[in-house]
Amino acid sequence: MLARLALVALHALYAAADTYAVLVAGSSGYENYRHQADVAHAYQILTKGGVKADNIVTMMYDDVASDPKNPFPGQLFNKPAATMAEANDVYASVKDHIDYKGNEVTPENFVAVLTGDSNATKGKKVLASGPDDVVFVNFVDHGAPMFIGFPNDIFMADNLTATFKAMHEKKMYKHLVFYLESCMSGGMFAKLPANINIYALAAAPFWESSWAQYCPVPGTKQGPKVGDVTFDTCLADRFSAAWMENADVTNLRFESLAAQYGVVVAKTLPNSLPTQHGALLLGLEPASVFEGTGRTALKNAGDAGAPGTYTSVDSRDVKLTMEFSRYMKAEGDAAARSAHAASLIAEIQHREAEDAKFAAIARALALPESLAVPEAEPEDVHCAHAAHKAVATRCGGYSDYSLKHAAVIAKACVHHHNAKKVVSGIETVCAKLRAWAHPAYPPVPSAPQY
């Protein structure tokens, strides 16, 4: 009871504050259904919980709801449901409020939004928060050591830290909370200052993948169901589902951010361990200040038995799982089964080729096998920027799968402290692969290239 009274008292301290939010799905393509569904769900939670729509900036490629593979055109679901009456179409509330779509979803616009630079966005919506306000940022996408993805680019940890510092200098918030859903996301906050009033949660530590939730069961025809329809993709991410399903059923006035973190950890283990960063004392603040009041759910929220047989999948393996599911479900249709078999084989070949390519880069750069993934960028970040650019321009780029191998680049920069040497090693290996027509260089990319 005393804890509840304390949270109520803390909530009262924010009476003069407005809550602002920036919600970003940084990927594209139907295989990344879950990312756009996550962000749509977050928008629903915030607006139903009392956060003003005018105070929320959303960035989403917005290609999944209309994708021909979507069994419910114009709708997105973030969790299975036994009947359509219970199903929660999270897209309904956000579809008319997506501020940046398609090629507008870029690191440059993300920075401009956060720093309130409407000149850079040519007048499009940006944060208008002030020194007494609170800001909630939710970013969902793929990631790697010290960077997160955008549909056609990457965003480095040092750029994020610089953006935070710029926001703090411009007095754009009293307190800021950042929830980051991506693999190895803890590395994005390794150098987050503890004295600029930012509390961050990462879906996984800097060495570990995050996991997708409500996915097809590999090697079977089974998967998450909405009504009578079985999906062949993942509907959510495990970390995102954990905090949002908690918000769906909890009065957030009586739950601190730290308590919500505890719930999230319990729901994501043993697959990954979310991490806390920055001003950890902000974890004592009521979650409602940043996320709205909570208890905004429809009937199928929380842990009520979701229909269908589904599983959690390492985010790097989602596309493989999808292709296998489609192949298994095509039984009885020879043409479809043959087409899905070809897609499955192509994905396996892509993975094998990417594994071989980055192993060759590691050998060319003489990286010791015992070399650990670095927790943070070196002081000289030029190497990482130059090396990742070399991968993008000379080496076929990163796919959703091969982002796992960005750890090779991070290790190389920390080991050699020499951008020229690392870039030369990358270019040499990839020039040879191009000359051999290596399958790491398909005529048409099978996945978004970062």
Q: Give 215's strand partners.
A: 311
- The single-letter DSSP state of residue 348 is H
Is 74 exposed, middle or buried (CB count within 10 Å of its CB: 0-12, 13-18, 19+)?
exposed
277 catalytically annotated: no
215 catalytically annotated: no
Contact 30, 67 (CB under 8 A): yes
Contact 116, 126 (CB under 8 A): yes
**Residue 72 neighbours by CB under 8 Å, 6+ apart:** 89, 226, 229
- The single-letter DSSP state of residue 215 is E
Three-class DSSP category at 317: helix
- ∠ CA 246-251-255 to the nearest 5 degrees? 75
**Candidate list 142, 340, 350, 388, residue with the active-site label:** 142
CA pair distance 80, 87, nearest whole angstrom: 7
The per-residue DSSP string of 389-444 comes to HHHHHHS----TTGGGGHHHHHHHHHHH--HHHHHHHHHHHHHHHHHTT-TTS-SS
| C-alpha distances in Å from residue 153, one per residue of 34, 44, 181, 399 | 19, 27, 17, 11
Contact 129, 172 (CB under 8 A): yes
- The single-letter DSSP state of residue 389 is H
**Candidate list 35, 175, 183, 340, residue with the active-site label:** 183
Instruction: Point out the residues that are catalytic.
Output: 142, 183
